[in-house]
Structures are given as C-alpha cells and as structure tokens.
Amino acid sequence: MNNNQFRSLKRVLCALTAVIMVFAAAGVSVFAADTQFEDLSGDSWAYPYIEYCIQNGLMNGVNESEFQPDGIVSDVMAKTVLQRLVPSCDFDSYIWSEPVEREDMAVLVYTAGGSANTEDIAVAYSDAENISSECYTAVAWCSVNNIMSGKENQTFDPSGYMTRSELAAVAMRLAEYLNADSLTINIIHTNDIHGYDVGDKSVIGMDEISALKKQTDNAVLADAGDATQGIAFVSLDKGASAIEAMNLAGYDVMACGNHEFDYGQETAKKNAAAADFPIISANTLKDGQPFFKGSYADGTKENNGENAIIEIDGVKVGFFGILTSDTASSTKPSGILGISFEDETETAKRQVEELQNQGADVVIGLFHVGVSQASSVTTPAIVDGLLDTSGLDAVIDGHSHTVYNNTENGVLIAQTGSYSENIGIMSVSVKDGEVIGVKENMLSSAEVKAKVTPDPEVTEYLEKVTAEQSKLLDNKIAETKTTLWGGYVNNFAVPRAVETNLGNLICDAMIDEVKNNISAEYSGLPIVSVQNGGGVRASVKNGDITVGSIFNVLPFGNTLFVKEITPNILYSVMERSVKNAIAQDEETGLLDLYPDGGFLQIGGMSVKYDPSGKEGEKVISVTLGGQTEPLDRTDSETKILLATNDFVAMGGNDYDMVPGLPEIMQGTDVEQIVCDYILKLTDNGVKPLEVENTEGRIVEMSGYTAKDYTSSLYLKDINGNLLTDKTVTVYVDGEAFGEFTSNKDGIIKLTLTSGPHSVKTAENAEEAYVNNICGQGTVEYRGEEEVLFPTLVLE
C-alpha cells in the first residue's frame, strides 16, 4: 500500500468511523429481536458484534437464514460495507487485496483511529517477523487498543484472510475506542426557508426547529440564507418577523442569501442588527469592507461580517459565509448598488486559513451558492478549487433549492432543499482537537413532527404574527377553478422552464394595465410583456384566491416598467430567455435544460425556439398576438411597447439589453395589478376565474411530434399513506376523466395528451401537476437525483 492509498483511505475511513460514532453517541437501539440466523448461535463470541453491524445497516446476512460468520471478506464485500457507510466516496484509488488480509485490515483501522504514534509499542505475537514492515505499526496499535487481537496460539496471522465475524468485531471495537474520548457536535441546519416559518403537514415550523435544537446534545443552529424574503409571512414586514422567529428558535449563525437584499441595503442591515446571531458573507463587500460588519443583537455584540466561531464544550466551531457572485445579476440592481462579490474560491481559501489561525477546531463553510449547473459557479466547483487547501471540514449549502448530500474531495456538502420541507443535522465528531468524521442526517417534516413537541413560546409568536397579517391576507379576491402553477411544483421550478398559466395571467395583467394607462402618443403601438420565471414564487391552489396568495406569488414588491423596444432587441431578449435549454427528446418530448430564473413568461406574443440550437440562435420566431407572420429579426425600426417588472427593466438576470431602452412609463406594484386584473376577469369575484393550462405561447420546435403520454401519480390519504388497489374518480383539467385503480405501489397511471395537465380526485380536491415536457409524472430520475411522482390526495 503506497502513501497516496493511505491518504485517500484516511478520508474514507474517518467518515466511516464517524458514522459508527454517531450511532453510538445517539444511543441507537442495537438490533431487532427477530434477527435470527441458523448458522449463528447466541453464545457465539461474534454474536454481539454481528448484531451491532446488522442493526446499524453495516452488514447483512448472505440470505435470510445465513450470515456465514466464517465467510471470507472479499474485495466486493469490503467495498460494499464501506459504501453503505459513505455512499459518495470513491474507493477506486485503493487496490484491495483479494481476499482482504488481516494485516491490511489493521492498516485501515489504524488510519481510521487517527494514526497515533506507536514507536515504543512492540508486537508480542510469535509470528511478528511475518508482519510486513509497512503494516507493523498498525498491527501494534490495533493490538494495544484491543481492536484486533491475535489467534489462540498467540499468532496474529498477518496474511490470513479476514472473516465476516472478524470484520464485525473490528467495526464495533473501533466504535468503542473512538467514542471513548470524542465529542459529537450536531449542527442543525436550514436553507432557503423563504418565509415558511409556520409549520403544516409538509413544513417544519420554527417552533419545531426550536424544540429540535433544545433536545439535541451539543447543538448549533445555522441557516444558509434566503430566510427573510418569500411568502407573505416575511414579505409584509420586509423580513422582520423572520428574524424574530429565528431569534426565538435559537439560531446561532446565518449566511446571507441573495434575496436578503430584495428590500434594499438599509433593510438588510436593519435585519442583521436585529438578529441575535451574526449574519455573515465573507465575499460580499461595500466600500472595501464586509457588508455585514457591525453590531448585532440590538447593539450588544460585534460581527466582523465574514465569519464566526461558536464554542461547544471547549471545541471551537468556525463558520464562514460565501454568497454566489451570480447575485450581481439575479438580484434587483438597486438593492446591491455599490456592492461587490469577490471570487468565491479565493475567499474560501482565505477564510479557512483565518479561522484556523483563530483557533477553530472545526471549519464549516456556510454557502449560499448551490449546485445548479445553470449557475456560473457551484459549491462542488469551489470545493474542487480548495483541493490544495486543508482544513475545510464540511459545507452547509443553499440557493439551488436542492436536496443534496454528497462528498466532494473528502468534503461533505449538504443542502436541505427549500421551504422548510426538510432539516439537516450534520454531526461532526472531534477527538483531541481533530475532526475525525462528518455525517449528515436529513429529517423530513413528518420525521421532525414525530420527534418533537413544538416550542410553545415560538408557537405563540407565530400565531400572533399570523393573526395580525390575516386581517389583510385572508381577504378573498375571487375563486379559481384550476390551480395557477408557479414556484416549485414537486420540487421542480416549472415557471423557470416552460409556459405556465400563472405566468400567462401575470403577463396579461401587465398588458391590460398598460392599455388602460398609456398616453395617447403610444396607444397605437403593439404591447408585449415578460415576467421572469424566478419571480413567480408560488402556485395559487384551486379554490379561493386571497390577497395573501398573490403576495406569495409576487413577494418582491416589483413595480411595472414600460420600455420601447424593436423586434431586433426583442429577439435578443427571448434568446436570453431560452439560453439554458439544451435539447428535447424526440420520442417523449422531455426537455433537457437547467431551470433558470431568467426564463421568461410572456404575453402579447408567441415564441418558437429550438432547444438544441446554438446559444444566441435558438429562437426561430417571435410573432405578435393576433398576427400570423413573425417579426423580422433584423428589424431595428418598428416600435413595440415592452411591459415588465423593474427587476428585468434594470437588467436583472443578465437582461443587459433592456436598461438602455427608452422608458415610456412606470406603474404601480405588479401584485396589485394582478389582483385588479383578476377582479376584472371575474366581475369583481362574482364568477370563478378560468384559465387554460397552456395557450401555446412558448413552443419548442425540435424533432418531437406531440403525442399522448402515460403519467404516473401516487395516490395517498391526507396523512401521506400510500393507497394501494384503491379505485377513485379522477378529474383532469377540471373535467371528470374516469375511474382508475392504484396498483400495488400506490400509483395511478393516466394516458394524457402532450403537455401540462391539472389532476385531482374530487371537484374540490387539491390538484397535482403533470407535464411530459418537463418530466412531471413521467421521469423518476433527473441526472442522479431521484424525482418523486406527483401526488393525488384522497380526502
């Protein structure tokens, strides 16, 4: 075994031992009573070790009735055990012996145990001269610490093959050794909460987060950004309620997200000052200083704006914040005026070194960067850039709204998704001032609710804020027969990828507002409208439309802008919109793309584009509403009015071609415009709102010919339990579609026409979204990420 093999294995095995330690530290129950193997006696010396490994998922029997305790540990078996412990690690760098010899196992155990100095330890085995020189120290250490013992005849048998019993014994003994003098710090973490502070069946409330922290040993509570902006709970008071809820829940540190600037810099600093915890972002500078440098906790504490150290039982845990430089284009320009975003990787290198110099035993990156390939930088890429920098132990990530738990170059990266649907617990095991392993455990809302009773103090605060806000937000505007689709649907950002009915509604509302308010000088010009998909933040469920539901869709307080544009520039705008499309499957219609906040919902025109075309040459045609002939791409004379929000008008999402266009008018808040338009369409709420799922405004032109597809949906009861062999009436797009029976997996299959559909189990039931073009209900994996089918709820 060479030095490179030693180094690569140490990372793997440190993670392995940390997992075992977490099991032990958490007091995990050791094994089901019905674990029975015909070839394993209860009085066997190996019985407790084998039980331990099976119950903790480290090993299995060779079949239901046999364990084969004397079976030889093969290459495949050893790799399988390690990969169950550390699924994301790559073991190809180590050439295993086949089968695994005892002295090689000693080396692995010694490496995992921290490679303590054993120069003065002698090996007392009678066959000591047969132990390889490169393995001698490891064998001695394992012997002294009673992790690997010799045979009955006082030999070690270095070239003997490891048995399955011996492997189980080594795992349990190593856990006991490491756990004796170690400390496990549990970092509870959230990201991209976006105002989902009040719990429900799918949301973990702040009162539950508080309770989870209180009942977790050695707990630190951290957030990776975008906590102060989102749905009405936080947007109505510009994030103040979010900060107070986090204070009550006991947060210790938070990274700045790009949306923390949505209310402007003054509000961002005001929120930071009111927090009882530091908000940090080392690469976000204003006038050469960290933006968040200053006092917090109402002036009682000082924040350097870059990093923070939290001490737990004598162990110093250092955090540093990193914000994606894409914030420069993804955030309202007025909110970040004068702010610079330094290189993420170089900043991270400096921060790791600085925290080590401050005495940090553990160094955690608190990133708001994400893993989306549509971004100019990703967290895994930053970690790759730190390959030559030692000391970064893990990264808690945010921004891409991704459930993520992978290791990159030995560094764990974890992200919980978004909207408080999950929460992470990152357990960091420390021994003698060194991190010996990091383990991530992610809990769903249901799992948290089963573990904790909400903190009554936090519950009282949440109820108070909700009651005050409900006076405004609960006001009913109208009813909608079908769900208006926006935000993340089944963990996919639909308005960032395809046309949606809600996007159409918003764009039509802007056009209507312009028609009714434009000066006579421009009244004869055609009007088109665009709304960035990233600004359509939520869906409006079928049923009542309230003021609150519109606030949740449009929480940014954006205002209407009208610009004068020509066909030539309009084509450039639409090229930017579809630039992240890559291809379309000619058989299924599935788009290959990176969902992009800059993808535009449109009104007053239709666009045809080729997803597989070259960037800048994807748009085939732009045709004004009511016209049959497309606009001339080269026409720089014809005048058209472009209605949009101030974010796009100022160049957000890289719409650099828009700010310089002549400004014709400014209007009121877009959310108010949408409310007024809904009232207009429904005769002031007298009749229900009816909109089509799609109007063919954005059409992909590739080799795909529209055809029927089979969509799969889970059928569940209101408690989330799968319903198998259950017959229900299914409604599609508001109309009865027929009776269907779920299969043994609780799945109902429907044959539908190509494109989006809204599906439900009763006239007033909540709807599910399916669409073969973006894979909703048709794909089970997007890359390596598992995609759950949409769910029908039978009430």
Query: Which residue positions in the chain have pLDDT lower than 50?
Result: 1-34, 85-90
Q: What is the CATH number of the domain that holds 737?
A: 2.60.40
> Same domain for 248 and 340?
yes
| Alpha-carbon span 246 to 229, nearest angstrom | 13
> Same domain for 14 and 126?
yes
> Same domain for 158 and 193?
no
> How many domains would you assign to the chain?
4
Q: What is the CATH number of the domain that holds 228?
A: 3.60.21.10
- DSSP-derived secondary structure for 684-705: TTTS-B---S--SSEEE-SS--
> Same domain for 724 and 681?
no
| Alpha-carbon span 764 to 794, nearest angstrom | 11
> Same domain for 646 and 573?
yes
The answer to whether the beta carbons of residues 208 and 449 sit under 8 Å apart is yes
Looking at residue 34, its pLDDT comes to: 45
The helix (H) or strand (E) run that includes residue 437 is: strand 434-444
> Same domain for 312 and 381?
yes
Helices 206-214 and 240-249 meet at what angle, rounded to 10? 20
DSSP-derived letter for residue 484 is: B
| Alpha-carbon span 152 to 684, nearest angstrom | 90
Looking at residue 92, its pLDDT comes to: 56
pTM of the model: 0.69
Looking at residue 240, its pLDDT comes to: 97
**Residue 422 neighbours by CB under 8 Å, 6+ apart:** 204, 403, 416, 442, 443, 444, 445
Domain that holds residue 292: 182-466
Query: In a 10 Å sphere around its CB, with 0-12 CB exposed, 13-18 middle and 19+ buried, how is residue 727 labelled?
Result: exposed
Alpha-carbon distances of 214 from 187, 209, 218, 291, 453, rounded to whole Å: 12, 9, 9, 31, 11
* Composition of the chain by helix, strand, coil, percent to 5: 30, 25, 45
Strand extents, DSSP E, 288-409: 289-290, 294-296, 301-303, 307-312, 315-323, 339-341, 362-368, 394-396, 403-408
3-class SS at 790? coil
How many residues are present in the chain?
Answer: 795
> Same domain for 197 and 257?
yes
| Alpha-carbon span 397 to 415, nearest angstrom | 5
- DSSP-derived secondary structure for 736-784: EEEEEE--TTSEEEEEE-SSEEEEESSTTSPPEEEETTTTBTT-SEETT
Looking at residue 786, its pLDDT comes to: 66
- For residue 58, give the nearest of 87, 36, 34 by alpha carbon: 87
Instruction: Please name the amino acid found at residue 78.
Output: A
> Same domain for 437 and 547?
no
- Tens of pLDDT, residue by residue over 204-227, are 999 999 999 999 999 999 999 999
> Same domain for 167 and 186?
no
Strand extents, DSSP E, 590-726: 591-593, 600-603, 605-609, 619-624, 640-645, 663-669, 698-700, 709-717
Query: In a 10 Å sphere around its CB, with 0-12 CB exposed, 13-18 middle and 19+ buried, how is residue 452 labelled?
Result: buried
The answer to whether the beta carbons of residues 669 and 558 sit under 8 Å apart is yes
Query: Last residue of some domain: 647, 665, 700?
Result: 700
> Same domain for 449 and 314?
yes
3-class SS at 3? helix
3-class SS at 639? coil
CA dihedral for 25, 29, 35, 41, sign (positive or negative)? positive
Angle (CA) 515 519 520, round 5°? 95
Query: In a 10 Å sphere around its CB, with 0-12 CB exposed, 13-18 middle and 19+ buried, how is residue 661 labelled?
Result: middle
| Alpha-carbon span 679 to 672, nearest angstrom | 11
Q: What value does the CA radius of gyration of the chain take, rounded to a whole number of Å?
A: 29
Q: What is the CATH number of the domain that holds 494?
A: 3.90.780.10
| Alpha-carbon span 502 to 489, nearest angstrom | 13
> Same domain for 398 and 495?
no
Map tokens 């799922």 to a residue.
693
Query: Last residue of some domain: 654, 678, 700?
Result: 700
| Alpha-carbon span 417 to 421, nearest angstrom | 7
Which residues on neighbouring strands pair with residue 189, listed in sequence order? 222, 424
Burial 558-589 (b: 16+ CB within 10 A, else e): bbbbbbebbbbbbbbbbbbbbbbbebbbeebb
Map tokens 């954006």 to a residue.
558
Map tokens 């402007």 to a residue.
264
Helices 164-180 and 47-55 meet at what angle, rounded to 10? 80
- For residue 571, give the nearest of 631, 649, 625 by alpha carbon: 631
Query: Last residue of some domain: 647, 679, 700?
Result: 700
> Same domain for 207 and 250?
yes
Instruction: Please name the amino acid found at residue 82.
Output: L
